Amino acid sequence: MKPNWTPREIPSLTGKNALVTGANSGIGFHTALELARAGAQVILACRDSAKGAAAIERIRLQCPAAELSSIPLDLASLRSIHLAADAFNARQIPLDLLINNAGIMAVPTRHTTADGFELQFGTNHLGHFALTGLLLASLLRADAPRVITVSSIAHKQAKLEFDNLNAERRYRDLAAYSLSKLANLLFAFELQRRAAAAGLPLRSIAAHPGVATTNLFAAGSRLDRQPLFSWLTEKFVPLLGQSDACGAWPILYAATASEVSGGDFIGPRGPLEFRGYPTRARSSPIANDPRSAAKLWQLSEQLTHVQYAPLTPHFAAS
């Protein structure tokens, strides 16, 4: 892998179509910006349509010729996910890049999605699982489609408890977030296994931004409302972490670099993977367990009622 990769090395993406979830701010915005700068037609999938429109105008200030559009998407609602997928699929164009970026973090008390799932697990994992499955036909229209699923170093703290995925027995905000990010990794790796087993050209790649200054905490978190955590966010992240623009680099590298393979996990190269140029990241042992991934996949299909018909199961869930 190139040691000092930056977005300047993104090849021309003219003629490519990319959909980025949560593209109105933070890492998602900078991902959309750089893909547009490289010539891709970028669809910003955002919960708030007004914020999506504002993000498009911000991108056009830097890239006047950018091809941009938006689709309303609330990942906490299966109905919204179906409508968003239908809106894209109706365009009958190949989807070359799907960036599963949107997420929420550390919701202080247990809340549920419109469909009754714990909010973080439902939004961060199940929402993207359903969206990817519903867009699979459009992805397979592309010559070399990639699905990039954004995880976090927090996945290493997660415990995978299949009898408490929706935190019905007990709820801890950061534990629920960590579980959702582990689920993102399990999904990304299992998607690659199944695509490879089916002989499909799709590459599924996971990435994480390190510690980046985004508005993720503001999306319902308790962290931004406690003085200690507010201080840590203001002082610690700029010192040891990186900007949201740099946080997008691993995602952009995963999406565009020729040397990236399906099943890779990309993150910052610096100490503790907090910051730095993109490289292969380290994942926890449970994230690499095919049987756990197959079981989560099976449960995700049951919960979302979204089936990945063209894909072949790689391992039977036990």
Catalytic residues: 177
Biggest alpha carbon–alpha carbon distance for the chain: 53
Q: How many Cα atoms occupy the beta-carbon half-sphere of 285 within 13 Å?
A: 0
Contacts with 181 (C-beta within 8 Å, 6 or more apart), sequence order: 124, 151, 152, 154, 155, 158, 208
User: Per-residue b/e over 39-70, b at no fewer than 16 CB within 10 Å?
Assistant: bbbbbbbbbeeebbeebbeebeeebeebebeb
**Token couple for 275:** 């910051």
Distance separating alpha carbons of residues 305 and 315, to the nearest angstrom: 20
Those residues with Cβ within 8 angstroms of residue 255's Cβ, 6 or more apart along the chain or in another chain = 18, 31, 35, 97, 99, 146, 148, 205
